[in-house]
Amino acid sequence: MKNPIKRLAVVGLAFTATLALASCSDDAEVVNQNLTKAADNFEIERRIVFFNGITDTYLLEVQGRCSIADDGGQLEVICKTGDDQYKKHFLGLSDNVSYFSEQIADAEASAYNYRVTFKPEVIIPSIDLRTSLDD
C-alpha cells in the first residue's frame, strides 16, 4: 500500500474494529484488566501467602505493592520497596505448594474505560555500554 490515504483508512478501520470488539466486554472483564494493570504498576497493596496444601502450613508471606508473574512451575513476585527500589522473589510451585493473593485495600477501577499506560522510557531505554575494555 503505497497510497497514504489507503494506509490511513486501513489503520482507522482496524482501530474502529478493535474498539467495537473491546466494547463487547463485560464490566467485570474491564475492571479485571484495569486492576491487573494497576497492580503491575505497583499501585495496589497485596498479601501473597504460600502454603503447603498437605500439611496446611504457611511457608512464606509477601506483603506490599507487588506484581505477580506465573511462569509455569515458578512464580515471580516483584515488590516496590521505595522510589526506584524493588525486590524480586522466585518461588517454586509444586503439587503440594500453592499460593493465594489478597488485595488488601479497595482500588478504583473504571468498568467503562480500558486503562492504557505509555512509558516513553521503555521505547527509548537508557543504555549500559559494556566493552572488552571493561573486563
Tell me whether residue 29 is in a domain: no
Tell me whether residue 24 is in a domain: no
- Which among 49, 39, 61 is positioned nearest to 107, based on CA atoms? 39
The predicted pLDDT at position 130 comes to 86
The predicted pLDDT at position 44 comes to 93
The predicted pLDDT at position 76 comes to 93
CB 25 within 8 A of CB 81: no
Tell me whether residue 99 is in a domain: yes
Beta bridge pairs of residue 89: 77
Tell me whether residue 111 is in a domain: no
The total number of residues shown for the chain amounts to 135
The predicted pLDDT at position 26 comes to 83
CB 89 within 8 A of CB 62: yes
Which positions of the chain have pLDDT values less than 50?
none
Q: What cell does 28 get?
A: 467485570
Domain of residue 81: give its range.
41-105
Tell me whether residue 116 is in a domain: no
Strand order in the sheet with 85-92: 85-92, 74-82, 57-71, 45-52, 97-103
What is the rounded CA–CA span in Å between residue 117 and residue 58? 35
The predicted pLDDT at position 16 comes to 62
Q: How many domains does the chain have?
A: 1
The predicted pLDDT at position 61 comes to 93
What is the rounded CA–CA span in Å between residue 24 and residue 110? 15
The predicted pLDDT at position 126 comes to 76
The predicted pLDDT at position 116 comes to 79
